[in-house]
Structure formats: structure tokens, C-alpha cells
Amino acid sequence: MFFDYIDEKLSKQLIFKDESKLSINYVPEKLPYRDHAIKRLFQLFKRLLSTGGKISVNVLITGCLGTGKTVVSKRFGLDFEKFCRSKGFSFKYIHINCRERKTIFSVLLRILQQLNVYVPSRGLSPDELLLEVKNYVLNNRKYLLIALDEVDFLIKRRGSAFLYNFARLSEEDLTNRSYLSLILISRDDLIEKFIEKPALSTLMLNKIKLERYSKGQLFNILMARAEEALFKNCISEEIIEMIARLAGPYGDARYAIELLWKSGKEAEANGLNEIKPEHVRKAKSSIYQRYTLNDIISLSNQEKLVLLSIVKALKEKEKPYITTGELKQKYKLICEELGVEPRTHPQIWSYLRELNSIGLIETMQSGKGFRGQTTLIGISEVPILPLERILISSLEGGKTQ
């Protein structure tokens, strides 16, 4: 009886004809409003073929959350691999998410796994793993393009020396070929300030910045995805316009697509074959826009302490914003309670910039009602009570340093 019920539910798709088309991992054949970025990447990397692989090409793609950085890189990588095969050029694209991998060792291990090179997961140093990558490309004469997604997460925690080592990987090749190129993907426009000068001068980065989508662009993106993912007539243009309007202020396609997906799930959960406005409202209430639970869990303990200080200060003051002075007072008290050494003013600012880039906080300059200029800090997209519980639980689960 139970399995019959499950089988009936699985076979009765009311809204979705292909739910995978709304997945965060889906890479569409066409990317609306990102043709210029794809064409720019092709222009840059065609130099690999025209020079016979004697130069490397390194690119930095920046933009806010949901502007298409990841999908642009993946779409280009897939298409350029196919293009290289047609020209008899041995090339492979590898995409690594640095927020998921967290360490240089883990990044290198994943690269070798993608190359089908067996190495033990323990017992080797990052330098030894890099040597394995080097031996592979030199022995196989294969050109690699490695995309390091959310590279700012790795650089800010582990430094940028690994980028220099990557850039110099082929220097001992007697044929003077450069077998490794990089695409660095970052939310932070200022990431270059965190890259050491030797690495920065060796990489010679070409820059591509992706701007936020407009509401009209989000509408067209949603229309295209709905056509791929949903049955005909289960969503109206009016509902898609509603979703685009909700996501419009952020210019975030990822959020817009998630709203569309969750609205469809709400409709199906109610046994309906059409998405109604109330389904969109319920979907929005269930999404904390611009961040995921993983964004919070993967923060450093000090970043969690700063965020917790903001949350507690906002809760106590019952105001939409607090000043940096109020933050530092609360931060100092929390550090004293936990027996933790407070970080310096520049370090606190670096934490604030990271939290702002993720979308967990927002900052603005003070206006009328304040003496002098100060920075105001607020949280508008996230309910602070559940956020406080998540932070406390996460800090209790790990050793605070």
C-alpha cells in the first residue's frame, strides 16, 4: 500500500516535465545576456591554438551572486573542449568549487581525480600533488584549463602562493609550451588585493565583470527556463512577471530560478497543475535570499563571531542598522564571554567585506542623524532569530579560536 502511494506520487508529475532544468548545476545551451562574456573568453583562449600552446591565458571573472559567473565558465569550458577536439588540440576543462574543497590539497586531489590519475588521499603533500599534475601534463602534452570557482574563499584563508605555483607549472618544459591556464571566479571585485604581487604579475589576468540582471532580463531568463522545465500552461506570464519583480532588486538569476522551482513544488504539493500567486508567496517566505546554510557553516569562526555580534546588537537595539562602534562593543563582549582574543580593526573590516559579498549583511554610509561619517551595518534578507540559532549551534559544534 505504502509503495503504491509512493509510485503514484512519483508518476504523477503535475508541474515539472524536467525538474533538472531548474537545478543549480544545469548548464543551458544558450545563456541569455551573457553572449558577450562567452565571446570574450573564446577570443582570449583561441590564442592557445594560434600560438601552438606557447602561452597560457588566465582570466578573472567577477560579479555579485547570481550574475552567471559559474554557468558562463562551465558553458565556455564545454564548448571550447568541443572546439579543440575538432581542431585536434588536446585540451581539458576542469571546474573546482573552492568553497566546497576548502584546502589546496583538496583542490589538487580533485584535479588529479578529474584526470583519472590515482593518488592516495593521504600521505602526500600539496607540493607532491602539484608535481603529479605537472608530470601528467608534460607526459601527455595535454592542455588544462582549471576554473577555480569562489577562489576568494580559498585565497583569503590559505593565501595566494598556490596561484604562483600553478602559473609556473610548465616552466621546465623544453618545448616552451604552457600547459595550464586558469579561470578565477570571485564575488569580490577587490580579490586582486589579496593576491601576492609575484603571483599577480605572473598570471597577467584578463578581467571580465558580470553585472546584475535587470528585471526584464530575469523575466526572459525565467520564461526560457519555464519552457524547458515545466509543462505547458502550468504557469502564466503574469506569475513569471511576479517572480521577476521579486528577484529584480537583486539582479540575481539564481534566486529567481529557485523561486520558480519552489513555487512549482508548492503547487504540486497541493495537487494542482498550475502555479498561483500564493505558491510564489510561500516559496519566497521559505527562501533566505542570497545565502545558503552552507555559506554560514563554511564561515571561519571569527566571521561567525562578527556576524553573531551584528545579530545580537540588532536584536537588542531593535533598529534596522547598527554603527561599526556598536558592532565592536558587542563583539568585544562576546569575545570576553568566550575567552577569545578579539581581532584588530583591519581584520574586522575584512570579515565585514566577506559577509557583505556573500549577502549576509549590507553596509551603507550614515546620513542625517549621525555625527560625522560612519558605516551602518544591517541585515534585511535574513530573519535574525533563526540566524542567531544557526550561528550559536555552529560555534558550539567547533572550537572557537
End position of a domain, from candidates 175, 210, 245: 210
CB 332 within 8 A of CB 342: yes
The reply to whether 161 falls in a domain is yes
Same domain, 79 and 202: yes
Distance in angstroms (rounded) separating the CA atoms of residues 60 and 393: 36
Task: Provide the CATH number for the domain around residue 56.
Answer: 3.40.50.300
The reply to whether 11 falls in a domain is no
Looking at residue 102, its pLDDT comes to 84
How big is the chain by its Cα radius of gyration, in Å? Answer: 24
**Domain enclosing residue 331, as ranges:** 293-397
Task: Report the b/e string of 154-172 with b at 16+ CB within 10 A.
Answer: bbbebebebbbbbbebbee
In the chain, the number of structural domains is: 3
The reply to whether 330 falls in a domain is yes
Same domain, 193 and 278: no
Which SS3 state, helix, strand or coil, does residue 16 take? Answer: strand
Same domain, 255 and 133: no
End position of a domain, from candidates 186, 210, 234: 210
Same domain, 113 and 193: yes
Distance in angstroms (rounded) separating the CA atoms of residues 213 and 210: 9
User: Which pTM does this prediction carry?
Assistant: 0.75
The reply to whether 5 falls in a domain is no
Distance in angstroms (rounded) separating the CA atoms of residues 209 and 196: 21
Same domain, 347 and 366: yes
* pLDDT tens-place values along the chain, 401 residues long: 555 544 555 456 789 999 999 999 999 999 999 999 999 999 999 998 888 888 889 999 999 989 999 999 999 999 999 999 999 999 999 999 998 888 999 999 999 999 999 887 777 899 999 999 998 988 888 899 999 999 988 888 888 889 988 888 766 555 677 889 999 999 877 788 888 888 888 899 999 999 999 999 999 999 999 999 999 999 999 999 999 998 998 899 999 999 999 999 999 999 999 999 889 988 887 776 555 667 788 888 999 999 999 999 998 887 778 899 999 999 999 999 988 999 999 999 999 988 887 778 888 776 555 566 778 898 866 678 888 988 998 888 765 55
Same domain, 156 and 65: yes
Q: Which three cell numbers stand for residue 339?
A: 575567552
Same domain, 45 and 171: yes
Cβ partners under 8 Å of residue 161, min gap 6: 196, 199
Same domain, 203 and 102: yes
Looking at residue 344, its pLDDT comes to 92
Instruction: List, for residues 353-386, the tens digit of each pLDDT value.
Output: 888 877 788 887 765 555 667 788 988 666 788 8
Task: Provide the CATH number for the domain around residue 271.
Answer: 1.10.8.60
Looking at residue 59, its pLDDT comes to 97
